[in-house]
Structure 1
Amino acid sequence: MKAGLVVLCLGYVLSQFFRAFLAVLSVDLGRDIGATPEDLAFASGLWFLIFAAMQLPVGWALDRVGPRLTAAVLLMVGGAGGAALFAAASTPFHIAIAMALIGIGCSPVLMASYYIFAREYPPARFATLAALMLGVGSVGNLVASYPTALAVELMGWRATMVSLAVFSAAIALGIWTKVKDPKKVETEQRGSFLDLLREPALWTILPLMLVSYAPSGAIRGLWAGPYLSDIFGLSTTQIGQATLIMGAAMITGTFAYGPLDRMLGTRKWVIFGGNALTVAGLVLLYLWVENAVWLSVVLMAVIGLLGASFPVIMAHGRAFAPPHLVGRGMTLLNLFGVGGVGLAQFVTGRIHAATVDISPTAPYTAIFGFFAVTLAIGCVIYLFSRDNVN
């Protein structure tokens, strides 16, 4: 099981990479195939929405088929195939289709490991284990910054994507050979996602899950690139260095959040406090959008650090899912978390297009303001949630 979890973690490194690398490639894709920020926002949003939509069949497959077959097949077909298509892209439309395929490929990897944690480990340890997997896997976020910028400069973005296609295929084979399925729950009970949605406790958690990952995921995954290029004139390498800092902050935040619920005896107030402070960071970025490049990078890092509550929210919601629906319970939460980023990318792409002619800063003040308002609304709804640390 340990070897299987290591391979799944490598798969999650890929998943984190693919959701974040477009920020670094924005200048090169614009120059080579005419991809605008709106095109890349659409492609990024498509990745997140396809990834989110896949959580429904993935949840069913985890409960019925198991994590081994589910993760190996989808990563091979979608991850490796999508990266290969990206390498051959000649139009922004090709990029969008490739990102959709990659979203399919990445969709089961994290949930496969979470399914194993839920089946094989005590519930009280779930948040810590989930944060550990998320934090280690988030190395992909770092690789998608400065190292990717260097790789693109050395061998071009097409050769870089070919290498990623080969790596994706190798990880898929590793999952097939190393992952072992946990024993299935023997029960006469049946259920579906609709049964989960009848649980009142989830309805105060799902709205925050929808908006909590969106600011850091969307800024790090895309908007950091156009923002730093348009407002401060940063190059691809400099954008890579800035996103490396934000990515490191996101990893640090993930590890920091992991044990806090057990240390403080509460999940609710750990989650609420972190997200409320994230709102404050977004408001400051909105107000100081063109003050100084170092200040913007620091504020983006703060947003990444404080906005890393995903595994604790996952643990909070998972506690309300019955054992025979734990796979679908986790994928439902993941659908909202990742789907929220996809929706945000589509909305912010339209915001950028509608405000780009007003002034250089207008698109970015509007985007950061949008994230601050939606996250604040999610925090208010979450105040009515029921705490749970078991």
Structure 2
Amino acid sequence: MSAAAAAPRLDPPGGRRAVAVWSVGVAVYFVAVIFRTSLGVAGLDAADRFDVNASALSTFSILQLLVYAGMQIPVGVLVDRFGTKKVLTMGVVLFTVGQLGFAFSPTYGMALASRALLGCGDALTFISVLRLGTRWFPARRGPLVAQLAALAGMGGNLVSTLVLSRMLHDVGWTQAFAGSALLGIGVLVLLLVFLKDHPEGHEPEALPQRGAAFVRRQIAESWREPGTRLGLWTHFTTQFPAMVFLLLWGMPFLVEAQGLSRGTAGGLLTLTVVSSMVFGLAYGQIITRARAARLPLALGTVAATAASWAAAIGHPGDGAPMWLLVVLCTVLGACGPASMIGFDFARPANPPERQGTASGIVNMGGFVASMVTLLTVGVLLDATGDDYRIAFSSVFVLEIVGLVQILRLRKAAVARERLHLVAAPPAAAVRSAA
């Protein structure tokens, strides 16, 4: 084999330059998560500002997630077709305009439109960052790089919880949201100046197909892989409890149902975010060293989440004790890192030129589950007179649905992945041929 023929099959080099370029993409995702989760600390303020009930309040997050989830497969195809830099640039422009619009919206309808625009821009970020990681780092680093990207997202959530909530209290709605939008302008400059799609000599394989036929082929071939479908259902089942809690309903639950002050509730939300960062580092290291740990980690997280959720909402009396709420918020921190395991099922099942599309399919899972649960909780709260015990029980229905699919697909996905690994040439042999 010639060096020219072998070169495209070599792993990317990694190194300091890879870290620098990838960090720019991660900074974009960091800001996107700040904007995405900003409503989580402003839910009660939004209800007062726009004079809406629980169902209408949940519509903010549902519409944002509907746009986000609906765009995941198209975004994956766009990233595979046009590369990371172009897609991320569009994303930054859209979510920054959306955040500014939300700051100045005088009516509920205009605020909804702004959140939809924000969700559209947000949808373009994470898949792009995942693809950037696969283009700049060796495959063996994939699980850790993905977890670190998600860790940065949790950092964005932490900024919302700690900083934006204080800004809302100190300077008010318009100044807090408009001021945060300046972050979008900052990362746009970094993106345009420093980001590059891939290292020199590691250009992706050309995709000459265009139009609807290309899109259908990308989606069909990605979906045909059991690893892609297992990744989707893993993401679906693990992510949404924490997403629902942090994105909207955690603060009202802790304040209205548990009788905590906003400060104490904010501390518990912060605990969830910090816990997620710790779990993310741990899960990334474990999976990098032992790929067989992926499914046990995912299933263990689902079991622990269901148990702690049931204990908290089912505790007799007016509210759960503080130690139990601490346990709940700590366990919820594992949901995000566990959802990243879904991408690690899809990654080895698909070639580089389909990574964006496959990741888009996987990423759609958790956000669809979150959207359904956000709506269900809001409707049940209005129907039951704010009975959080009944409303939050809807979480178990989706967990059961997802768990059944994971157990159904796991054997086929693992067997297919082994075939891919056997068929793939060892890295050492490729280097030798080069």
TM-score (norm 1): 0.91
Distance 2:28 2:279 in 1: 21
Given the alignment, which residue of 361, 364, 381 partners 2:405?
Answer: 381
Tell me the alpha carbon deviations over residues 11-70 of structure 1, each in whole angstroms, 9 at most, x when there is no partner. Answer: 211222233222321222222321333222111111112112222221122111111011
Change in Cα spacing, 1:24 to 1:187, as seen in structure 2 (3 Å) is closer
Distance 2:263 2:275 in 1: 19
Structure 2 residue 17 is the aligned partner of structure 1 residue 6:
no
Given the alignment, which residue of 21, 45, 66 partners 1:28?
Answer: 45
Q: CA deviation at 1:179?
A: 1.0
Structure 2 residue 384 is the aligned partner of structure 1 residue 368:
no
Q: How many residues align?
A: 384
Tell me the alpha carbon deviations over residues 189-210 of structure 1, each in whole angstroms, 9 at most, x when there is no partner. Answer: 8632122222234334422322
More moved, 374-383 vs 311-320: 374-383
Whether the 8 Å CA contact 1:49–1:342 is kept in 2: the answer is yes
Structure 2 residue 312 is the aligned partner of structure 1 residue 285:
yes
Residue aligning to 2:98: 82
Q: CA deviation at 1:172?
A: 1.9
Structure 2 residue 293 is the aligned partner of structure 1 residue 264:
no
Distance 1:372 1:304 in 2: 18
Q: CA deviation at 1:322?
A: 2.5
Change in Cα spacing, 1:298 to 1:305, as seen in structure 2 (3 Å) is same
Q: 3-state DSSP class of the match of 1:251? A: helix
Structure 2 residue 270 is the aligned partner of structure 1 residue 244:
yes
Change in Cα spacing, 1:133 to 1:202, as seen in structure 2 (3 Å) is closer
Q: CA deviation at 1:294?
A: 4.7
Q: 3-state DSSP class of the match of 2:350? A: coil
Q: CA deviation at 1:375?
A: 1.4
Q: 3-state DSSP class of the match of 1:138? A: helix
Given the alignment, which residue of 186, 195, 205 partners 1:185?
Answer: 205
Q: CA deviation at 1:328?
A: 0.7
More moved, 243-252 vs 230-239: 230-239
Amino acid at match of 1:274: T
Q: Which has the higher helix share?
A: 2
Residue aligning to 1:69: 86
TM-score (norm 2): 0.82
Whether the 8 Å CA contact 1:23–1:226 is kept in 2: the answer is no
Amino acid at match of 1:368: F
Distance 2:123 2:286 in 1: 27
Q: Specify the structure having the higher radius of gyration (Cα).
A: 2
Whether the 8 Å CA contact 2:234–2:341 is kept in 1: the answer is no
Distance 1:26 1:94 in 2: 16
Tell me the alpha carbon deviations over residues 358-384 of structure 1, each in whole angstroms, 9 at most, x when there is no partner. Answer: xx5x2x212332112321332232123
Q: 3-state DSSP class of the match of 1:21? A: helix
Whether the 8 Å CA contact 1:4–1:175 is kept in 2: the answer is no
Distance 1:240 1:67 in 2: 35
Whether the 8 Å CA contact 2:147–2:337 is kept in 1: the answer is no
Given the alignment, which residue of 70, 74, 77 partners 1:53?
Answer: 70
Amino acid at match of 1:134: A
Distance 1:137 1:205 in 2: 20
Task: Give % identity.
Answer: 23
Amino acid at match of 1:244: T
Change in Cα spacing, 1:23 to 1:307, as seen in structure 2 (3 Å) is same
Unaligned runs of 5+ in 2: 1-17, 422-434
Unaligned runs of 5+ in 1: none
Residue aligning to 2:431: none
Whether the 8 Å CA contact 1:14–1:106 is kept in 2: the answer is no
Q: CA deviation at 1:100?
A: 0.9
Q: CA deviation at 1:306?
A: 4.8
Residue aligning to 1:298: 327
Given the alignment, which residue of 352, 357, 360 partners 2:381?
Answer: 352
Residue aligning to 2:232: 206
Given the alignment, which residue of 262, 275, 295 partners 2:302?
Answer: 275
Q: 3-state DSSP class of the match of 2:80? A: helix
Residue aligning to 1:114: 130
Structure 2 residue 180 is the aligned partner of structure 1 residue 164:
yes
Distance 1:8 1:40 in 2: 31
Tell me the alpha carbon deviations over residues 98-142 of structure 1, each in whole angstroms, 9 at most, x when there is no partner. Answer: 111111111122211210222232322211110011112311111
Amino acid at match of 1:186: A
More moved, 277-286 vs 230-239: 230-239
Whether the 8 Å CA contact 1:51–1:339 is kept in 2: the answer is no
Residue aligning to 2:11: none
Whether the 8 Å CA contact 1:74–1:108 is kept in 2: the answer is yes
Distance 1:51 1:21 in 2: 16
Residue aligning to 1:143: 159
Q: 3-state DSSP class of the match of 1:314? A: helix
Residue aligning to 1:334: 363
Distance 1:372 1:27 in 2: 26
Tell me the alpha carbon deviations over residues 263-292 of structure 1, each in whole angstroms, 9 at most, x when there is no partner. Answer: 334122222222222222222123127223
Tell me the alpha carbon deviations over residues 308-348 of structure 1, each in whole angstroms, 9 at most, x when there is no partner. Answer: 31222211122212332111111111122223222221222
Structure 2 residue 60 is the aligned partner of structure 1 residue 43:
yes
What's the RMSD between the two structures over aligned residues? Answer: 2.2
Amino acid at match of 1:367: A
Q: CA deviation at 1:293?
A: 4.3
